[in-house]
Amino acid sequence: MFLTHAQATASASSTGSTVMLIAQFVLLGAVFWFFLIRPQQKRMKEHAAKLAATKRGDMVVTGGGIIGKVTKVDDSELEVEIANGVKVKVVKTTLSDVLTATGKPAND
């Protein structure tokens, strides 16, 4: 009789351990989702919306750090003026940021 009681207790504690292990993995997954994956997806959507809304006259920063003014917009490319008379074609997906010209310059 003692042997069957010990076996039942061991079986119950094993099941409880398994449930706790699964609960820990679910909790860890939820933490990763809310603190890492979800904010990154939100930033990616905002960045894609900025790129889609790029228009002529916007200031842009390329992936290489070049700042210029958009002079022409195509579906997947932009023409960016980086200096007086110097225009380059840039693929939209390589832009790091789109700066709007709504603010007052810092030096004025």
Strand ranges (E), the chain:
59-62, 67-73, 77-83, 86-91, 95-99
**Do residue 3 and residue 43 come from a single domain?**
yes
**Do residue 39 and residue 67 come from a single domain?**
no
Q: Tell me: the pLDDT tens digits for 50-83?
A: 988 899 999 999 999 999 999 999 988 999 999 9
**Do residue 34 and residue 77 come from a single domain?**
no
Which of 3-12, 64-73, 89-98 is least confident?
Answer: 3-12
In this structure, are residues 55 and 71 in contact, taking their beta carbons and an 8 Å threshold?
A: no
**Do residue 60 and residue 38 come from a single domain?**
no
> Would you say residue 32 lies in a domain?
yes
> Would you say residue 105 lies in a domain?
no
